[in-house]
Amino acid sequence: MKTVNVLAALAGLGLAGAALGQTGTGFTITDGTAVFTQGNTPTTVSSSGPTSDLKFAGPTGQDQLFKTFWWYRVDGVHTRENAFNNQVGPTVVAGNSATQNFATPEFTAVLNYGVLNVAGTALLTQTMTITPLVQGNLHLFNYADYFVNGADANDVVSLVNPNNLRVTDVHILDHIGALSGAYQAGPFNSILGQLTNTSVTNLANTVDGTPGDREGGFQWTIAMVPGQPLVLTSVISVPGPGSLALLGLGGLVAARRRRA
């Protein structure tokens, strides 16, 4: 199923850490029964990213997410998308948040993950702060491989609005790219394959609504001005049984960002 068997094989050979991630940068953060786990940060631009877990019922509860991560491209500099890689310094974990730093010749980046238990809902927020070092158009991508209801065979994706992809399979997962410029959802590897190949990718503003193993993502295109920070937000929420779904969260996040 997906890459899990490959991971297991590499681990058995003692190669998983060296081949797939920067040892010791993975983490787990919790808030009540909401738990988020992220694997080690990649060490190459061509990486498919770390695996992730998001649970609303504690560390032994049902997982709802297989992967979420970030890619970037600068026009005129890169001929492909690059996974954020070779993290600078350790991951700093403080309570229910974790912070990672990255540096490229074009910008520096601070990625903060936060998890909250909101009335039984596991709410994961990813905040990416970019400080440009050069001028140019920056494309950022937030990707997620969905695993709703602890399985990947019957997920159905629909478009709530251009900033909100909704996945249903008994439970509901909302994936939100606040103020993003493009979106896409489809079968597994239809997006990840584009982010990890050697050509330029722009998301297509399409959603495949048939049941199956599904993934989705958002794209931001930003004009960089040296020294002027840019803040982007992605949110993934999964309400547990009997909890109030955070419906319309995409619009709420966008409205808060506009007022900031």
Least confident of 40-54, 120-134, 164-178, 239-253: 239-253
User: Among candidates 175, 178, 176, which has minimal Cα distance to 255?
Assistant: 178
pLDDT above 90 covers a percentage of the chain that reads 82
DSSP symbol at 189: T
pLDDT at 256 over 90: no
Rounded Cα–Cα distance for residues 176 and 205 (Å): 14
pLDDT of 97: 98
DSSP symbol at 170: S
Number of helices (H), then strands (E), in the chain: 4, 17
- Give me the CATH code for the 25-259 domain, please: 2.70.98.40
**Lookup result for tokens 């251009």:** 162
pLDDT of 152: 85
Q: What are phi and psi of 152, to 5 degrees?
A: -130, 20
**Lookup result for tokens 């199923």:** 1
Residues 182-196: what's their mean pLDDT?
A: 98
